[in-house]
Amino acid sequence: MSKIGVITIVDNKNYGNRLQNYAVMKIYEKMGYEVETLILNPRKGNIKYIPKAFRMLINQIKQQFKMDLSHRRIKNFSQFNKRMGIIIKYCPIWSRLYIDSKYCFFSVGSDQIWNYKLGCANGVSFLSFARRSKRIAFSPSLGVSVIPKELTDFYKSKLIGFNHISVREQSGAELVYNLTKKKAEVLLDPTMMLTANEWRKISKPSIHIGKKYILKYFLGTEEKKNSDRIVNIASLNQYIIIELANEAYPELYCADPSEFIDLIDHAELVCTDSFHACVFSILFNKPFLVFDRDGNGADMGSRISTLLSVLGLECKMPGRVDDANVFEHDYRNAYRILELERKKAENFLKRSLGLEDEN
């Protein structure tokens, strides 16, 4: 069977990261390919961001309890990879000829693999090691709306090396066009290519809640006014609040990706600033409240606004849902659009893989 090598961010602490990696694998497997996720050591990268990583590491060491939780969480995520059959291979970049001979295609995406702020913008993330005919950009995210002037030549030179480009948000498509005059298709995040039932097959209900609950999942700093609002909604409806991404609740903080999707699936309401929490709320037909991510500006909201706009759910934009209607939701039209978007993404992949006529 032919193999595809996937380049993405491999972070055993982020739900969206692991779930999109799983989705990409399943999508290509349905098309008849074996999939391996590759971690290649680039010749050089954006090293100016390394000191920040060291500071983060030092802070972890200083906080033993937090470090213990972090190890436990990483272990749970690693076990998820094994259970799901996600094969991760570490390869030195100098063996590029050997790597090229083993895979018929290389796919980059999704996640923020092209975000220079994360130190991801290097030759590896743009598949420069592979022949042009083997490169596929499958819903990667640039994660920003503006590329610094000093990096425009780099991005331009790398982007023109793709015969087929898709991105995850409209702002990314505009950046690609402004840099290269090439049209990039805006595709679904790969997690939306799988159905709710497909996701339920891998969900793991191992965290017992026992009561009806509102799920809180904030990746930015939650503002007090938002917290008070959620508490008020819970109180009026006699729901408890459970909170992910908060070390004060160790069992929830260490939940693996299978438990993450199960917790969304059984929530009465999801309150979040997370793109993937919105994705799974829609897939599982759950009401959700979206909040602007504090401290990250408009760039981080681009993915959510694109998602909601494409699916005709602009009514769910931050600030547009009042408390009286917070549980009202009707995704029937969104699901019809979703089927069309899935077909669009499938056709893009078929063209990229040479399975469909370019014309």
Query: For the whole prediction, is pTM greater than 0.75?
Result: yes
Q: Read off the CATH number of the domain in which 222 is found.
A: 3.40.50
Proportion of the chain above pLDDT 70, given as a percent: 88
98-130 per-position pLDDT tens digit: 788 889 999 998 888 999 988 888 888 999 989
Instruction: Say whether both 269 and 167 belong to one domain.
Output: no
Instruction: Say whether both 124 and 228 belong to one domain.
Output: no
- 271 phi, psi to nearest 5 deg: -115, 125
Instruction: Say whether both 51 and 167 belong to one domain.
Output: yes
Instruction: Say whether both 224 and 162 belong to one domain.
Output: no
Instruction: Say whether both 187 and 201 belong to one domain.
Output: no
Domain that holds residue 104: 3-193+339-352
216-263 per-position pLDDT tens digit: 999 988 788 899 999 999 999 999 999 998 888 999 999 999 999 999
pLDDT band at 94 (very low <50, low <70, confident <90, very high): low
Instruction: Say whether both 203 and 279 belong to one domain.
Output: yes
Instruction: Say whether both 31 and 175 belong to one domain.
Output: yes
- Whether 62 has a pLDDT exceeding 80, the answer reads no
Instruction: Say whether both 265 and 321 belong to one domain.
Output: yes
Cα three-residue angle 187-164-129, rounded to 5 degrees: 115
Distance CA 269, CA 239 (A): 10
Tell me the average pLDDT of the chain: 88
Number of domains into which the chain is organized = 2
Determine contact, residues 166/185, Cβ cutoff 8 Å: yes
Instruction: Say whether both 54 and 17 belong to one domain.
Output: yes
Residue 357 lies in a domain: no
Instruction: Say whether both 84 and 210 belong to one domain.
Output: no
Instruction: Say whether both 247 and 279 belong to one domain.
Output: yes
Instruction: Say whether both 217 and 304 belong to one domain.
Output: yes
